Amino acid sequence: MEVLKEKVEEEEAAEREDAAERAERGEKMMRLMEVRKEETTMTQEMLRDLERKLSEIEVSIPEKPSTFTKDTIDISKLPLSYKSNTPKEEHLLQVADNFSRQYSLLCPDRVPLFLHPLNECEVPKFVSTTIRPTLMPYPELYNWDTCAQFVSDFLAMLPLPDPLKPPSYLYSSTTVLKHQKGNCFDFSTLLCSMLIGAGYDAYCVNGYGSQDLCHMDLTREVCPLTVKPKETVQEEEKAPPKKYAIKPPRDLSSRFEQEQEMKRQEEIKAAEEKRWRQEEERLMEVDSAKTDPLHGLRVHSWVLVLSGKREVPESFFIDPFTARSYSTQDDNFLGIESLWNHKNYWINMQDCWNCCKDLIFDLGDPVMWEYLLLGTDKPLLSPAEEEDNGANDDDDVENLGKEDEDKSFDMPNSWVEQIEISPEVFETRCPNGKKVIQYKKAKLEKWAPYLNNNGLVCRLTTYEDLECTKTLEIKEWYQNREDMLELKHINKTTGLNIDYFKPGHPQALRVHSYTSMQPEMDRVMEFYEKARVDGLIKREETPKTMTEYYQGRPDFLSYRHINFGPRVKKLVLNSAESNPRPVVKIIERFFRNPAKPADEDVAERVFLILDERIQLRYHCREDHITASKREFLRRTEVDSKGNKIIMTPDMCISFEVEPMEHTKKLLYQYEAMMKLKNEEKLSRHQAWESELEVLEILKLREEEEEAHVLTTSIYDTKRNEKSKEYREAMERVMHEEHLRQVEAQLDYLAPFLAQLPPGEKLTRWQAVRLKDECLSDFKQRLINKANLIQARFEKETQELQKQQQWYQENQVTLTPEDEDLYLSYCSQAMFRIRILEQRLNRHKELAPLKYLALEEKLYKDPRLVELLKVFV
Amino acid sequence: MHQLCDMEPRVMDDDMLKLAVGEQGPRDEAGQLAKQEGILFKDVLSLQLDFQNILRIDNLWQFENLRKLQLDNNTIEKIEGLEKLTRLVWLDLSFNNIETIEGLDTLVNLEDLSLFNNRIAKIDSLDALVKLQVLSLGNNRIGNLMKIIYLRRFKDLRTLSLAGNPIAAAEDYRMFICAYLPDLVYLDFRRIDDHTKELAEVKHQYSTDELKHQENLMQARLEDEQARREELEEHKAAFVENLNGSFLFDSMYAEDVEGSKLASLPGVAELMETYKDKFVIICLNIFEYGLKQQEKRKAELDTFNERVQEAVQENQAQGRHRTAEFEEKHLLSLSTIRGESELTDIETKIADQREDIAELSNALMTLEMQLVEQLEETINMFERNIVDLVELFIENVQSLMAQCRDLENHHHEKLLEIAINILEKIVKGELDEDLPDDVRALFVDKDTIVNAVGASHDMHLLKIDNREDELVTRVNSWCTHLVDKIHKDEMTRNRRRVKEINQYGDHVQGELDSLECGDILD
């Protein structure tokens, strides 16, 4: 302590020496500020004046009884470090006080420092020691974005008691976590602890933020989920014209006309842009009309992450309320008073007239950042210094140790207990598992998994207007659903619903978009084609058509389009299934089958079923631009003699790129037609099956929607009922096993040994007596037990006899109920008697054996074996 | 078979074939059609001619596409007349009187051959049947077991039957065949189990190993030869074959009698040595230069082909797009015309359609003309470049050859000097060494010796000139051929495209016309 004090005194002396210099510097800065002030616009100046005036006024705001007060905290259970300060901490507080005094002396126009607020036990604690760096055991919390998201989800936001002042209380993170609510300082302290634990160079910042920021008001922000990712425009690199590349044909269009056209387009575009800008301006005006009178005075706390560690390329801010990251240039952050991590505390000496845009986060520079503790590491050195360091690295290494030795006063360890988040709480996340965030024209609701019994975890509602009255569309995210539903997208304006599924749906469904669940309506179903035997990718339906897309089939089918006609009304009213719509037209397309020559490989075939016409189009040959075609007209006619015409040349019209001889033959054409006939039948059957499948899927979907069964992972020990039962059974078995073992280890000699003086070796006489006593005792027990059973047996028999007697006496006067009662009693009594008899018999059988077993055991007992050996 | 022998042998004539084709052709409605139309022999895929008492195979040349031919249970004595049936996969000649295997050299696709129950004594003449899988030679007169080794060359042979031959009586027969034909699966209609295979392998290991070794050696030699031939081919393509060594130099002296005589003169041997070294170095230079130039030409040709291909592809894609678009429209309008009832409407629509057709063929033709123009330009450019390359090559080779000639001249002078020196010495009688008589005969007087040396020199120069001429003519002819071929290819391409466009246009027009006719008739 002595040494420490000396050190501090030295420090103070040094500071005093510095004071003059600093005062000078301060003056300079003030002058500079004045110059700047003159330069800034009037509004800025006015604001500044206002600020000064306001700070002078000292409005006393009555402490609002926020829901999170000391009363709700059970102090008694908190550990000692919460309730008192260690000497080192006391010392630190003295240093801080001293520092604060000097600071207020030197910078009288700045607000007092936020150094040691009271904790939940009314004990002043230095802010740096409230940060408890902790690495969380969850891999999700290893990165800053997920970490911040967790903090913002986990805690409920409380406004500061006084929006213009830092709070007078700063609770430990453990308490905050327990109650799941806190103000911005609690948020940033917790986040900072976690980030430092995860290896980031993170700092808590005490500064000034915009109104939206301080109130966690996102209504003017666009919801990040609604922002569509910008499509990266890939500029096609035009390869330089290679040797022998052909020249494009000469462009004969008028260049003048093109230019005129271009001009016109540009004009239109400019006009549009202008209109758009005007609109924007109008909106801006509306926005700015609601300016905040306390702009620039609202105290806020957030987290600064400096570049360097964990491959962070650039320093940035994290707002702990919203978990969003901002650049250090952002307009929402209006100024910084001070910042701290678990090792040190820095005060911003730079001017914040232009928000935080001009701040340089070089904490090693004492001109810009006044530090509280000397000698702890200076996290960031200016590049120039770094270079110097590089030059005489060796000296530094030597000096480092010395410096630490004589100058540094280390920040005491954190008084806060280890931050712990149980897996249940981690999963539940938001307080009560639910959270609602209001964005600009959007509302985001979050739930913990398994909280809703339909698996809903997130819902984003977007609105048409700023007042959020007209719903535009709803997106719902689901988790752990057995039907693998992942996302439901409901467009309110068009009435279009789109369901997205993860792989694993029983029908391999991927996307299902529909307006109604009724069959034969507009709908699109997409499938995981790898999971399907028929390789179906997509099936589109309109009331009259059905289109299917395939991939990777052995018959190279790629596309099938079916046109349905109006349903024929039958006299007997059947259900829809037994009365399928008639198929009017089927178009099928095929991929090129490399095994066949192009002239024989069908690319498209059209069955016009009503016309009895079949059209074939073949694939194009490699070096041709036209493809072969063939059209079959199926007319069964009878010629003049009454014979059936089988095939005539006009029944098949064909165009062949390379005419071949054998295809001209009627026989060939006839065979081809017969084959096609068969295939038409198959295709029609396929169409019918597709319809059935749609019905089946719709039915299945409806069932799934109604049941909405949730799955549990087999690794989820809490929710998986089956495994829980199994585990419990196992535990029970283990417990029983344990009991049995305990019993086995029961020392039957103990009560007899206890009678003897302890610590003495047994004599033989004693041993023999011990054995005899033990045995006789056991014998007595056995006899007692036998007697007990016998007694019960006799008692039961007597009772029974008594009843029987009574029955015989009163048999005549008995009501049927009484008789029933008697009979049931009799059967029960007989049963008991029988059991007792059995037990007695069993006991008689086993008793001698048990006796012998005990004797045997006693002979083998290690304590007696020596003494009894000779005896035997 | 012996009963059949009593019957009169028949000739395979047209009627018989027609009958067989008709009987074995399609049935029912298709059969009626077939009858009505008649079946061409070349469309027949399978033909069965068993129990016909045929003596001689004949008249089968029309069955070009025949896959399966059954000629069993006849009295055929000689395998013949099957040369044209190159697509044949399945041939059955069992139960005949064949004595030698022959006439199968063109049936490269044959997989299944049955010669069961014949009079064959020797297995040979099957070399062409590389795809052979099943061979049935049972009930024949094969007597030499060692000849089975001949069957090792058929890598796909899985089934073999040899039962009923004299060799099948040998006690080692099965083992022997299993050992020498390890890929065989069925022998005499029975599966060879693994155990037998192992046993056989162990038993005949020494002899089969030796056989394998020899086969490997043979294979290696063949491969070597092949590689060498390919290399030479490559050099020939570069027009510098046999210039990577002293081949030219040696050929210069091969027919030069005087030269070899003179070589034995004192001091000439060293001179020759240095001369040869220098000469060979120049030859090597030519060789390397030639290869390099060849590569350059090839790269040039490749890029040219690639670009042309690209251009043609693009043009085709455009053409296809146009046709597809038209097709769609065309089909639509056809169906509307069909559905139309008003005659005037039909006429206007048909006229419209006609215009569309004309427009399409115009557009396609324009595309084609455009491509032709573009390609012509490119081809001309390529022609210029390739001719330049060839000229450069010739020029450089010629200059190198001139160096050869210089060397030869230099050598000649030196040789003449030495010869004259010796002559002088001989004249003066100062010559120490003994010269062979035939050499000494040259030194009778100055003219003789000068003539001899001169003749040798002329011979050498002639050789060099010849080589140079050969190279130059071949390069030039290659170049002209190439350019001609490119022009011709382009022309055929153009012709075909034009024909295709016209054909398509005609077809579409025809469709429209038939519609018109039909309507008018209606």
Q: What percentage of chain B exceeds 90 in pLDDT?
A: 28
Is the CB of residue B183 less than 8 Å from the CB of residue B160?
Answer: no
Going by C-alpha positions, the residue among B342, B329, B331 that lies closest to residue B519 is B342
Please report the pLDDT score of residue A570 as a whole number. 58
A205-214, A292-301, A649-658, B288-297: range with highest mean pLDDT: B288-297
Answer yes or no: is pLDDT of B481 > 90: yes
Answer yes or no: is pLDDT of A400 > 50: no
Please report the pLDDT score of residue A272 as a whole number. 94
Nearest-5° Cα angle at A869, A865 to A870: 145
Polymer length in residues for chain B: 522
Query: Mutate which of A613, A616, A623, A626 to test chain B, going by most B C-beta atoms within 10 A?
Result: A626
B290 touches A at CB < 8 Å: no
State mean pLDDT over A338-357: 83
Q: Which residues contact A205 (CB under 8 A, 6 or more apart)?
A: A188, A301, A302, A303, A304, A317, A336, A338, A339
Q: What percentage of chain A exceeds 70 in pLDDT?
A: 81
Whether residue B511 and residue A653 make contact (CB cut-off 8 A), yes or no, is: yes
Going by C-alpha positions, the residue among B479, B484, B482, B490 that lies closest to residue B309 is B490
Please report the pLDDT score of residue A787 as a whole number. 92
Please report the pLDDT score of residue A360 as a whole number. 82
Residue of higher predicted confidence among A866 and A685: A685
Q: What is the pLDDT of residues A813-830, one digit of tens each?
A: 878 888 888 889 889 989
State mean pLDDT over A508-522: 86
Answer yes or no: is pLDDT of A401 > 50: no
**CA–CA min distance B311, chain A (Å):** 7
Q: How many CA atoms lie within 13 A of A112 on its CB side?
A: 14
Confidence bin at A57 (pLDDT 50/70/90): low
State mean pLDDT over B502-512: 87
Mean pLDDT, all residues of chain B: 86
Residue bearing tokens 């549009």:
A272
Q: What percentage of chain A exceeds 90 in pLDDT?
A: 11
Is the CB of residue A687 less than 8 Å from the CB of residue A586?
Answer: yes
Rounded Cα distance between A617 and A622, Å, is 15
Residue of higher predicted confidence among B426 and A571: B426
Identify all chain B residues contacting A627, using CB atoms and an 8 Å cutoff: 323
Is the CB of residue B200 less than 8 Å from the CB of residue B179?
Answer: yes
Residue of higher predicted confidence among A214 and A132: A132
Answer yes or no: is pLDDT of B488 > 90: yes
Answer yes or no: is pLDDT of A863 > 60: yes
Query: Mutate which of A242, A243, A246, A250 to test chain B, going by most B C-beta atoms within 10 A?
Result: A246
* Beta-strand relationship, A442-447 and A456-463: antiparallel
Q: Where are the alpha helices (DSSP H) in B152-267?
A: 173-180, 194-203, 205-237, 247-254, 257-263
Please report the pLDDT score of residue A72 as a whole number. 65
Whether residue A625 and residue B37 make contact (CB cut-off 8 A), yes or no, is: no
B323 touches A at CB < 8 Å: yes
Answer yes or no: is pLDDT of B451 > 90: no
**Minimum-distance CB partner of A646 among B29, B493, B514:** B29
A157-161, A351-355, A731-735: range with highest mean pLDDT: A731-735
**CA–CA min distance A603, chain B (Å):** 12
- In this structure, what are the phi and psi dihedrals at residue A230, rounded to the nearest 5 degrees? -65, 130
Q: Where are the alpha helices (DSSP H) in B86-141?
A: none
Instruction: Considering only the C-alpha atoms of chain B, give the largest distance between any 2 of them, rounded to a whole number of Å.
Output: 126
Rounded Cα distance between A317 and A159, Å, is 20
Please report the pLDDT score of residue A35 as a whole number. 45
**Minimum-distance CB partner of A244 among B320, B323, B381:** B381
Alpha-carbon dihedral sign for residues B379, B380, B383, B389: negative
Going by C-alpha positions, the residue among A383, A299, A381, A306 that lies closest to residue A341 is A306
Answer yes or no: is pLDDT of B156 > 70: yes
Whether residue B496 and residue A662 make contact (CB cut-off 8 A), yes or no, is: no
Q: Which residues of A touch B (CB under 8 A)?
A: 242-247, 249, 617, 620, 623-627, 646-647, 653, 655, 657, 662, 665-667, 670-671, 674
Residue bearing tokens 């290696």:
B220
Rounded Cα distance between B121 and A631, Å, is 58
Residue of higher predicted confidence among A412 and B132: B132
Q: Which residues of A319-331 are buried (b: 16+ CB within 10 A; e: fewer)?
A: bbbbbbebebebe
DSSP state of A230: P
DSSP state of A574: -
Answer yes or no: is pLDDT of A386 > 60: no
Q: What is the pLDDT of residues A587-610, one digit of tens each?
A: 999 999 888 888 888 899 999 888
Instruction: Please give the model's pTM, rounded to 2 decimal places.
Output: 0.65
Please report the pLDDT score of residue A51 as a whole number. 62
CA dist A772 to A352, A611, A855, Å?
A: 97, 112, 9
Q: What is the pLDDT of residues A287-303, one digit of tens each?
A: 665 667 777 788 888 99
State mean pLDDT over A431-443: 82
Distance of CA B389 to the CA centre of its chain: 30
Q: Where are the alpha helices (DSSP H) in A717-763?
A: 721-744, 750-755
Is the CB of residue A676 less than 8 Å from the CB of residue A683?
Answer: no
Answer yes or no: is pLDDT of A575 > 60: no
Please report the pLDDT score of residue A398 as a whole number. 44
Rounded Cα distance between A119 and A168, Å, is 9
Q: What is the pLDDT of residues B87-109, one digit of tens each?
A: 899 999 999 999 999 888 888 99
Identify all chain A residues contacting B496, using CB atoms and an 8 Å cutoff: 623
Going by C-alpha positions, the residue among A512, A516, A514 that lies closest to residue A502 is A512
Rounded Cα distance between A773 and A867, Å, is 16
A844: how many CB neighbours lie within 10 A of its CB?
A: 12
Polymer length in residues for chain A: 872
Q: What is the pLDDT of residues B320-376, one digit of tens each?
A: 899 889 988 888 888 888 777 777 888 888 888 889 889 999 999 999 998 999 899
Is the CB of residue B42 less than 8 Å from the CB of residue B67?
Answer: no
Beta bridge partners of residue A169, listed in sequence order = A118
| A747, amino acid identity | D
Rounded Cα distance between B465 and A247, Å, is 44
Q: Which residues of B201-211 are buried (b: 16+ CB within 10 A; e: fewer)?
A: eeebeeebeee
Paired tokens of A458: 């997130």
Whether residue A247 and residue B374 make contact (CB cut-off 8 A), yes or no, is: yes
Residue bearing tokens 């939206």:
A212
Q: Which residues contact A159 (CB under 8 A, 6 or more apart)?
A: A66, A183, A214, A215
State mean pLDDT over A422-428: 81
**Minimum-distance CB partner of A647 among B33, B382, B511:** B33
Going by C-alpha positions, the residue among A131, A143, A242 that lies closest to residue A198 is A143
Going by C-alpha positions, the residue among A8, A25, A33, A99 that lies closest to residue A340 is A99
Answer yes or no: is pLDDT of B112 > 90: yes
Rounded Cα distance between A841 and B273, Å, is 127
Answer yes or no: is pLDDT of A515 > 70: yes
State mean pLDDT over A675-693: 90
Q: What is the pLDDT of residues A776-827, one digit of tens each?
A: 888 898 999 999 999 999 998 998 899 888 888 888 887 888 888 888 988 9
Please report the pLDDT score of residue A396 as a whole number. 43
CB contacts < 8 A, A to B, total 77
